[in-house]
Amino acid sequence: MNLRSMTERKISTEVAASETHLQLLRLLEANPALSQRELAQELGISVGKINYCVNALLAKGWIKARNFKNSRNKLAYAYLLTPSGIERKAALTVNFLRRKIEEYQRLHQEIAQLRAEAGPDAALEEAADASPVGTIPKRRSTDQSAGRAK
């Protein structure tokens, strides 16, 4: 394995971890009383991976765990986002959105190229026009100082 592929693999792993952390932070913000088993089911990953991620978020100070009694008379945890966790969630959301917009734009370009290569096929054009991929939403610039869209 060369240095480039090792670097690409590391970046890919970091992106996947940040997306998992974002999904986990979003779930915990919406429902802090979810158990690790319930979190695992919601995200479609193993309980072991959830445990690892929850412990990582606790160690980073992005969440804190509080004890509470649940309805089954057992002691359980509520995972609460800390102020730094809320900030990090916002940053992860912005990065995730940026990656998805870039992916969307690449797909849009690829679709346009494929349409050009396929030639004028009315059935293909009609199906594409019905697709949500037919247009790219316009980006709105924001006034950073005022925090409002222009």
Q: pLDDT tens, position by position, for the chain (150 residues)?
A: 666 555 555 455 666 778 999 999 999 999 998 999 999 999 999 999 999 999 999 999 999 998 876 656 566 788 999 999 999 999 999 999 999 999 999 999 999 999 888 887 645 555 556 555 555 444 444 444 444 444
Choosing among 1.10.10.10, 2.60.40.10, 1.10.3210.10, 3.90.226.10, the CATH entry for 3-82 is 1.10.10.10
Q: What is the pTM of this model?
A: 0.63
Report the C-alpha gap between 65 and 116 in whole angstroms.
55
Show the tokens assigned to 59: 């160690």
Report the C-alpha gap between 34 and 90 in whole angstroms.
21
